[in-house]
Amino acid sequence: MLCMYLVYYLVQVSRLAVWLGALASIALGALLGIGVHLLIITPILGSAPINQLLATGGLLFFLQSFATFLWTTDHKSVRMSLPSFEVGGIFVPLTRLIPFAISIVALIGLYLFPHPHVRRHRHPRGVAGPRGDVADGRQPAAHLHRHLGGGRPDGRPGRRRC
Per-residue pLDDT of the chain (162 residues; tens, 9 = 90+): 888 888 988 988 888 898 999 999 999 999 999 999 999 889 988 888 888 889 989 999 998 898 888 877 777 676 777 888 888 888 888 888 888 999 999 999 988 888 777 666 555 555 555 555 445 555 555 555 555 555 555 555 555 555
* pLDDT of 160: 53
Distance (Å, whole) CA 91 – CA 85: 5
* pLDDT of 131: 52
CA-based nearest residue to 5, from 96, 53, 88, 69: 69
Distance (Å, whole) CA 50 – CA 30: 26
Q: Would you say the pTM of this structure is higher than 0.75?
A: no
Q: How many C-beta neighbours within 10 Å does residue 10 have?
A: 20
- For 129, the 3-state DSSP assignment is coil
Main-chain dihedrals φ then ψ at residue 87, nearest 5 degrees: -125, 105
- For 84, the 3-state DSSP assignment is strand
* pLDDT of 136: 53
Distance (Å, whole) CA 133 – CA 102: 40
Main-chain dihedrals φ then ψ at residue 16, nearest 5 degrees: -85, 155
